Amino acid sequence: ALREASEAGDLSGVSRAAHTLKSSSRLLGGLGLGDLCQDAEHASDMGVARELVPQVIALSQTFGSALTAWMAA
């Protein structure tokens, strides 16, 4: 949802998806991922679309790493 909203330029969608992922990540102990989500949520709320591209890339990479580590545990 986050990537799709970002690609579509849907800042409201990015904010919602980042907020949801932030909460879930922190609940499961993914504090770094939660911090990245918070940054993306803030950037989208402020309407700073160009800052979202690196945020979404970083989120995707961090989420992939976190998911791999969680599945290996």
Q: What is the pLDDT of residues 9-60, one digit of tens each?
A: 888 998 999 899 899 888 888 788 888 889 889 888 888 866 777 777 777 7
At 19 the pLDDT is 93
SS3 47: coil
User: Distance between alpha carbon 52 and the CA centroid of its chain, in Å?
Assistant: 9
Residue with tokens 């970083």: 58
CA–CA gap between residue 57 and residue 3 (Å, rounded): 9
The phi and psi torsions of 48 (rounded to 5 degrees) equal -100, 75
